[in-house]
Amino acid sequence: MTSAYAQLEARFHKASVIGDSLSILHWDMATMMPDGSAESRAEQFAVLRGLHHQILAAPDLPDLLDAAGTEPLDAWERANLAEMRRDWIHTAALPADLVEAVTRAEAACEMVWREARAAADFAQVLPSLKALLALVREVGAVKAERLGVGLYDALLDQYEPGGRAAAIDPVFDHLEGFLPGFLAEVLEAQSYNPPPAPPPGPFPVECQRTLGLDMMTRLGFDFNRGRLDVSHHPFCGGHADDTRITTRYDETDFVSALMGVIHETGHALYEFGLPGGRWRHQPVGRARGMVMHESQSLLFEMQVARSRAFATFAAPAIRAAFDSDGPAWDAEALYRRGIKVEPGFIRVDADEVTYPAHVIIRYRLERALIEGRMELEDLPAAWNEGYGRLLGITPPNDRLGCLQDIHWYSGSWGYFPTYTLGAMTAAQVFDAARRAIPGMTDALSRGEVRPLLDWLRAEIHGKASSLSTTDLMVAATGRPLDPAVFAAHLRGRYLP
Amino acid sequence: MTSAYAQLEARFHKASVIGDSLSILHWDMATMMPDGSAESRAEQFAVLRGLHHQILAAPDLPDLLDAAGTEPLDAWERANLAEMRRDWIHTAALPADLVEAVTRAEAACEMVWREARAAADFAQVLPSLKALLALVREVGAVKAERLGVGLYDALLDQYEPGGRAAAIDPVFDHLEGFLPGFLAEVLEAQSYNPPPAPPPGPFPVECQRTLGLDMMTRLGFDFNRGRLDVSHHPFCGGHADDTRITTRYDETDFVSALMGVIHETGHALYEFGLPGGRWRHQPVGRARGMVMHESQSLLFEMQVARSRAFATFAAPAIRAAFDSDGPAWDAEALYRRGIKVEPGFIRVDADEVTYPAHVIIRYRLERALIEGRMELEDLPAAWNEGYGRLLGITPPNDRLGCLQDIHWYSGSWGYFPTYTLGAMTAAQVFDAARRAIPGMTDALSRGEVRPLLDWLRAEIHGKASSLSTTDLMVAATGRPLDPAVFAAHLRGRYLP
């Protein structure tokens, strides 16, 4: 007689393998697939997702979850069972007609949004967005009851398991108190000492690609289990045994692709470091959530690659890649251009100092909308007010304002906070690593990343989802997420 | 109440979409996948194939097939139902333990074969091959009973639906009577007038690729629904909405990759020309079988691309692709090198004249082995005897003899005749097209393939599996496969 828990492991294993197949097909769609095959690929997704869903929606699954809870399990098995239940809540606990309605509303709203954004006309997408938000709140209500949490937390939990607004609020309050004054100081200091001009370019794609591959190798990317390709929107795809990152190249600016490659490499290193063997296809063996995943990409992009130490190592390699010379290629010039601060309207173009403001504005707004404390009609005005207050700028239109991000219009409510929580987590984890590893900064200035990577594997990657995000942080850094560490990082880097 | 037939269409549609997903994942494995991901990809194949098999092995499927047979169906629906039953016989009618045993024996034998081939030692693989052959015969016996045909025909039917040894024998007898004398004549004529030496090279891969893409475009390949990439063994993969061909490049010889690309383009054009809409994911909407598929690739490679007319068009394009000049690049030189005849031991390196001998030898041997008229111990001697008799050469060892092809050692018994039947079909279809299309040869000498392609789509591609191979041939060419047409083609091309 197979235990309920063993039956669950077998089913989730199969679901995970189907998920891996879907990930490879997604990667192919973004990198290789000819345009005319989009419809047939969509049908492949629908069929494979349906087969995946059938496993989680099996009528006897809730009983198996309950029965497994009464069986003797060790700590990883218990954590695995908890993740299985979360999976079930987020994918199979909803009424089928609600799932269908929200899927349709997402597709419809996203389509209208593309036109509304081009026209900079929020009113155009308002009816579709209202319909979608109403359904998202319905979904949230079902999940909230199952999870025993509030409406916003139920949505946040989809992306950040265990994430709770009550924990985010004090962290973001601290940042919001700190950032406007800090930004003014940084801008003033920078005005006395502006970053040097970049080298003129152009920067041939082939040289950029070779440089990117070199940096990936240096950072520990395993090309026996992964690739680098080109796509319109850079991403880290595939799965832990076959992790495929992408970038896009701009021949007038090599930094953008390079930093993008390093960012996605951070995501990939997390995937490579997850436990193999028995846990490879179990929910507990997955990365902990979007906050921790983003922290690993930002740790390599923001903490490592934009540090003065790393610039010391990277500058000669970069100069050699483009076979160029001159003071614009010096390490200090590279470093100072990499930490230039400039308030702007667009989140994805923002620097490390102003980025959190973009996120805090979205977080406050999406919570108020989800919790019914605000009407969608008031979104553009409230958006612009936030930008004025936190960044001192006012978007001239909604294309540069509340229409810029796809998230809300495609149904991703509760996602935004993970970006800045990830950045703060990265700062705190990097700070702990530096304290734990003697000579780490010197090592980075020689391009030696291995001691840091080994520490991350032991403290973060290898633990997968066996602990909550907070417990992972406490184990690795000695305390829960502490906004003071991020603030100290910013002060250390941006003030003279 | 949905009819039994409609239920079957829905199920086979889903199976086909899973099959398409598997095809893309196969392509990825051969072209893009990093080596270290092989194990996880094998698991994806196993899970998706299992899901595919579940659909065909559903316990109520035989009853649905029977019930649908009593419902009013039009001609395509009736043909579809017949193909569904064939699918069921070939994939789900076998006992599960037999399927498992043969799958295991195939994998084991193939592994030993790789070593035996390297060591040129047939004795090494003999025990594994005996075990595999015994299981293949068991499989054949089950299918033979279901299909109401003989043992060999049951295996042949897996690759060539409706193919029967009784129809092959007279065709191959005719060839076997004709070829040895013809080959002697050709070799003598060629000795008086040997083909001119090829240009010296090297031929850069990038130029070869550009040339291949140009030729594909010229032949009608739809890059909006397909790609060209590189793999170790060239193939045509993907599916009708996303057809992906591959080649490999040799910088010392551009003809090999070019002819390979044209061959695979022929396969792809068949896929592109299959009916869309309702039949796209139904068994009746698939290509007719391996004979007809190979006929389409060989029609473009052997009938079109190796013709004097096409050389007239291609020679300037090829010369331009390599930015070269001189008499070695002339159309007549290109043509004459392309039809050089030389008996050899290796099937895949054989020219158009000697190729059938390789196939006839294998066909006779595999039939005798399957039908129990010969023992495996006698294979190497019988193989070498065949080469002496048909080609006048004797393999010096089994690596250049009966160990050269993977087919038998990986369980593909009954496949070989499709190669030469495909070549003969190509000659007969091309001959009919030339009679039907005024000025076709002149058009080919200007590189105009569209009239031929339109004719093929109307006569062959668009009919998919709605007719048997023989009925397709009768409809398109006026009679069943006639070895005299192939013989006339060879005489016309190879004798002065």
Same domain (yes/no): B38, B155: no
- Greatest mean pLDDT among B61-70, B90-99, B193-202 lies in B61-70
Q: What is the predicted pLDDT for the residue at B201?
A: 87
A9-27: pLDDT as tens digits: 999 999 999 999 999 999 9
Whether B8 and B84 have beta carbons less than 8 Å apart is answered as: yes
The percent of residues above 90 in pLDDT, for chain B, comes to 97
Q: Which residues in chain A touch residue B245, judged by CB atoms under 8 angstroms apart?
A: none
- With a pLDDT cut of 70, the percent of chain B lying above it is 100
Residue A336: phi and psi, rounded to 5, are -70, -35
The C-alpha angle with vertex A269 and arms to A12 and B25, in degrees rounded to 5, equals 55
Residue A87 Cα to chain centre, angstroms = 19
Contact B34 A226 (CB under 8 A): yes
Residues 6 or more apart whose Cβ sits within 8 Å of residue B373: B367
Q: What is the pLDDT, as a whole number, of residue A93? A: 83
**Adjacent-strand bridge partners of B227:** B244
* Segment B193-209, tens digit of pLDDT: 999 999 998 999 999 99
Q: Is the pLDDT of residue B229 over 90?
A: yes
Q: Are residues B300 and B417 in the same domain?
A: yes
Q: Give the bridge partners for A229, in sequence order.
A: A246
Within-domain flag for B102: no
- Tell me whether residues A40 and B226 touch, CB distance under 8 A: no
Contact predicate A185/A495, CB 8 Å? yes
Q: Would you place residue A260 in the very low, low, confident or very high pLDDT band (cuts 50, 70, 90)?
A: very high
**What's the pLDDT at A318?**
96
Average confidence (pLDDT) over B289-309: 97
Q: Label residue B96 by pLDDT band (50, 70, 90).
A: confident
pLDDT tens digits, B379-405: 999 999 999 999 999 999 999 999 999
pLDDT at A496: 85
Place of tokens 């050389």: B311
Domain limit, last residue, from A72, A103, A124 = A72
Give A206's contacts (C-beta < 8 A, 6+ positions apart). Answer: none
Q: What angle do CA A286, A291, A292 make, to 5 degrees?
A: 50
Q: Which of B72, B91, B123 marks a domain boundary?
A: B72
CA dihedral over B445, B448, B452, B455, signed as positive or negative: negative
Find the angle CA(A382)-CA(A384)-CA(A388) to the nearest 5 degrees: 115
**Three-state SS sequence of chain B:** CCCHHHHHHHHHHHHHHHHHHHHHHHHHHHHCCCHHHHHHHHHHHHHHHHHHHHHHCCCCHHHHHHHHHCCCCCHHHHHHHHHHHHHHHHHCCCCHHHHHHHHHHHHHHHHHHHHHHHHCCHHHHHHHHHHHHHHHHHHHHHHHHHHCCCHHHHHHHHHCCCCCHHHHHHHHHHHHHHHHHHHHHHHHHHHHCCCCCCCCCCCCHHHHHHHHHHHHHHHCCCCCCEEEEECCCCCEEEECCEEEEEECCECCEHHHHHHHHHHHHHHHHHHHHCCCHHHCCCHHHCCCCHHHHHHHHHHHHHHHHCCHHHHHHHHHHHHHHCCCCCHHHCHHHHHHHHCCCCCCCCHHHCCCCCHHHHHHHHHHHHHHHHCCCCCHHHHHHHHHHHHHHHHCCCCCCCCCCCCCCCCHHHCCCCCCHHHHHHHHHHHHHHHHHHHHCCCHHHHHHCCCCHHHHHHHHHHCHHHCCCCCHHHHHHHHHCCCCCHHHHHHHHHHHHCC
Decide if A330 contacts A346 (C-beta within 8 A). Answer: no
Same structural domain, A61 and A172: no
Percent of chain A exceeding pLDDT 90 equals 96
Domain end marker among B72, B87, B110: B72
Residue A29, chain B, CB below 8 Å: the answer is no
State pLDDT tens for residues A63-106. 999 999 999 999 999 999 999 999 999 988 888 899 889 999 99
Judgement on whether residues A342 and A472 belong to the same structural domain of the protein: yes
Residue A216 is encoded by which pair of tokens?
A: 């990936």
Asked, for residue B349, whether it belongs to a domain, the answer is: yes
Interface contact flag, A241 B25, Cβ < 8 Å: no
Contact A39 B241 (CB under 8 A): yes
Q: Is residue A121 part of a domain?
A: yes
| Rounded Cα distance, B438 and A20, in Å | 53
Q: What is the pLDDT of residues B301-332, one digit of tens each?
A: 999 999 999 999 999 999 999 999 999 999 99
Average pLDDT, chain B: 96
- For residues A350 and A295, membership in a common domain is answered with yes
pLDDT bracket for residue A381 (50, 70, 90): very high
Where in the sequence numbering do the catalytic residues of B fall? 264
| Residue B293 annotated as binding site | no
Mean pLDDT in residue range B117-133:
97
Residue of A11, A13, A14, A17 to mutate, interface with B, max B Cβ within 10 Å? A17
Is residue A44 less than 8 Å (CB to CB) from chain B? yes
- Are B156 and B67 in the same domain? no
CATH code where residue A102 lies: 1.10.1370.30
Given a cut of 90, whether residue B414 has pLDDT beyond it is yes
Q: How confident is the model at residue B93 (pLDDT cuts 50, 70, 90)?
A: confident
Tokens matching residue B349: 């390196």
One domain for residues A132 and A39: no
B157 and B28 share a domain? Answer: no
Q: How many angstroms separate the Cα of A258 from the Cα of each of A223, A262, A315, A394?
A: 17, 6, 12, 31
Give the distance from residue A249's alpha carbon to the nearest chain B alpha carbon, in angstroms.
20
**Structural domain total, chain B:** 2
Residues of A noted as catalytic: 264
- Residues in B 219-258 with any Cβ partner in A closer than 8 A: 222-227, 239, 241-242
- A245 has which bridge partners? A228, A236
- Please tell me the distance in Å from B17's CA to the nearest CA on chain A: 6
B292 shares its domain with B180: yes
Question: Within a domain: residue B249?
Answer: yes
**Segment (H or E) for A122:** helix A122-147
In this structure, what token pair is assigned to residue B270?
Answer: 């068949």
What would the mean pLDDT of B330-354 be, rounded to a whole number? 95
In a domain, B14, yes or no: yes
Rounded average pLDDT over B158-173: 97
Cα dist. B327→A386, B257, B332 in Å? 75, 22, 9
Considering only CA atoms, which of A428, A416, A435 is closest in space to residue A482? A428
Residue B123's pLDDT is: 97
Number of A/B CB contacts below 8 angstroms equals 82
Mutation for B interface: A14, A43, A45, most B CBs within 10 A:
A43
Q: Is B83 annotated as a binding residue?
A: no
Q: Helix, strand, or coil here: A242?
A: strand
pLDDT of residue A477: 98
What single-letter DSSP state applies at residue A72?
Answer: -
CB atoms within 10 A of CB A168: 23
Q: What is the mean pLDDT of residues B287-297?
A: 98
Can you give the pLDDT at residue A140?
97
CB atoms within 10 A of CB B65: 18
Please tell me the distance from the alpha carbon of residue A375 to that of residue A382, in angstroms, as a whole number.
10
Asked if residue A335 belongs to a domain, the reply is yes
Same domain, yes or no: B64 and B155:
no
Asked if the C-beta of A18 comes within 8 angstroms of chain B's C-beta atoms, the answer is yes
Q: For residues B447 and B312, give the distance between their C-alpha atoms in angstroms, rounded to a whole number.
A: 9
Is B375 known as a binding-site position? Answer: no
β-pairing, A242-247 with A236-239? Answer: antiparallel
Residue-level pLDDT at B456: 98
Q: Do both B349 and B469 map to the same domain? A: yes
Residues B236 and B369 in one domain: yes
The verdict on residue B461 lying in a domain is yes
Q: Residue B224: list chain A partners with CB under 8 A.
A: 34-36
Digit-coded pLDDT (tens) for B2-14? 999 999 999 999 9
pLDDT value of residue B47: 94
Residue B7 belongs to domain spanning: 1-72
Give chain A's mean pLDDT: 96
Q: What is the mean predicted confidence (pLDDT) over A436-441? A: 96
A14/B47 touch (CB, cutoff 8 Å), yes or no = yes
Q: What CA–CA distance (Å, rounded) separates A61 from A8?
A: 8
Looking at the domain assignment, is residue B401 inside a domain?
Answer: yes
Rg for chain B, CA atoms, rounded: 23
What is the greatest pairwise CA distance in chain B? Answer: 75
Q: How far apart are CA A139 and CA A146, in angstroms?
A: 11
Tens of pLDDT, residue by residue over A294-350, are 999 999 999 999 999 999 999 999 999 999 999 999 999 999 999 999 999 999 999
The pLDDT assigned to A410 comes to 94
Per the DSSP assignment, residues forming a β-bridge with B126 are none
